Structure 1
């Protein structure tokens, strides 16, 4: 099967595509082109689960360097509802984000959040975790919802199993996900500047992952994702699976590692050929007093920060990391003030975008391995030296 047909040539939007600019080993520097702008890769996508990146204004997210954000199909289909979002002009207009948006399929949240879910060949029936109302999510309905939301990158519906799992369970879910991939692709309306990604499944079994990758490539997608990782397995297992699977995917299409992750996870995955990431970690950590810096993670709940006048990270390009003292940020966290969550979320998202920018520059310069080693060494030094 080939890519879905695009809208008529009279549409002035650019076609969806991926341009590879440079490689350094397996690491890649590229650009994803969409109807709502370009995505520089490697890219980190802040998560806007319910049409908002928590504790941030959209213009702040953009100013920190984000080219694209992620919206969640499961949450948005329940509230405010996909049809309502469409009537209001789509997700871009609703949340005042005129840049690219990727939506997941809703499958992961159904598996992890929904009550009394039942998986069949047709799809998933479940009860909402909000009010117990019953819903059905099929590959066709997931794509329909994502189309109503208006996202630039849509994801196929898949089944994600938590690890560790039996090979039989991983194989069953992988094969079901492949069949759902074909149905998702068939349901996708190829509006110009919009694309659909297939999702490689197979748990931690390299042979199953290879079968999944080959099947998805045969169907044909605008990009490919690795799902079902960072779900309980050790980092070395995740990296082994990425290293075995990424080379099986087309070099001229973007590769997305779903739900990952820590800064260390991301730079190791980039070294193995991954282009795109998303994770709630930087925003969730910020709301709970955790900050990511060039010298590693800092827990501002710790009492040792109460009298510390130093900034979080004087090397950060983000003013919030340089202009507020640790003592003040500690105070905000301990008293539960909203400003604390806002500032720490901003610092974390700035660090993640700075990290991806550093990766892009290092790949272009042909020194990614050195940059990665220097970055990890900076984390290993630990917090700023004592007073």
Structure 2
């Protein structure tokens, strides 16, 4: 960053914790990279086939050994539930293909669970993907029309699903930050998970 020709002098170098699901290896590695005093720290290698329970176990054991005054980043994760569980364990931010990749396959996230818009039950459903959602898809188009676009292999159908999913994820992250600021995250997480697991009425 000190070089004159550095394009982005604000870029951050993160130490990436590795060690599969072996907590002793991960903890030892966390201690070593913490000594480097980097701008932030990441937990990697937990989105390549491990179960959710294994991922949560690693986070329970490793995050306490990373600097608490630096941001913690969970790489390649995840579902809305994964994010809520990881935040509770001290993770600050995430990246994941889920909202875009799943959107391209007609899978959309809502506060009442995930919907597959390819399902025939949405063929004549004139509601938006989610009532009250402010995303471009929900403000303008119905489930039925988006399903038609998907079935016809029109690119707009995939784009609308991706737009909705990104809006859902960004809105959820805003809600998480607000809940943390208000000291209400535990209640927020419980209610959010219960709503998503309950499904549509």
Structure-2 residue corresponding to 1:344? 161
**Structure 1: which 5+ residue stretches go unaligned?**
1-5, 12-85, 87-146, 153-190
Which of 162, 174, 195 is residue 378 of structure 1 equivalent to?
195
* Structure 2: runs of 5 or more not aligned: none
Alignment match of 2:114 (pick from 277, 297, 321): 297
In the other structure, the counterpart of 1:268 is 85
Q: CA deviation at 1:231?
A: 1.3
In the alignment, structure 1 residue 244 sits paired with structure 2 residue 46: no
Structure with the largest fraction of helix: 2
Q: Which has the larger radius of gyration?
A: 1
Partner of 1:30: none
Answer whether contact 1:310 1:326 (CA < 8 A) is retained. Answer: yes
Distance 1:319 1:219 in 2: 44
Alignment correspondent of 1:254:
71
Structure 2 residue aligned with 1:17: none
Pairing 1:212-361 to 2, within 5 Å after superposition = 212-361=29-178
| Structure 1 residue 370 displacement after superposition | 0.3
Q: CA deviation at 1:341?
A: 0.9
State the SS of the aligned residue for 1:195. Answer: coil
Cα shift readout 1:2-56 (whole Å, capped 9, x = no counterpart): xxxx639xx9xxxxxxxxxxxxxxxxxxxxxxxxxxxxxxxxxxxxxxxxxxxxx
TM-score of the pair, normalised by structure 1: 0.50
1:199 aligns with 2:16: yes
Q: What CA RMSD, in Å, does the superposition of the two structures yield over aligned residues?
A: 1.7
TM-score normalised over the length of structure 2:
0.95
Q: CA deviation at 1:240?
A: 0.9
Which runs of 4 or more aligned residues in structure 1 lie more than 4 Å from their structure 2 counterparts after TM superposition? none
Count matched residues.
Answer: 201
Q: Higher relative contact order at CA 8 Å, sep ≥6: structure 1 or structure 2?
A: 1
Cα distance in structure 1, aligned partners of 2:164 and 2:67: 35
Q: Does the 8 A contact of 1:296 with 1:380 survive in 2?
A: yes
Q: Determine which structure has the larger strand proportion and give its number.
A: 1
Cα offset, 1:307, TM superposition:
1.1
What SS class does the counterpart of residue 211 from structure 1 fall into?
helix
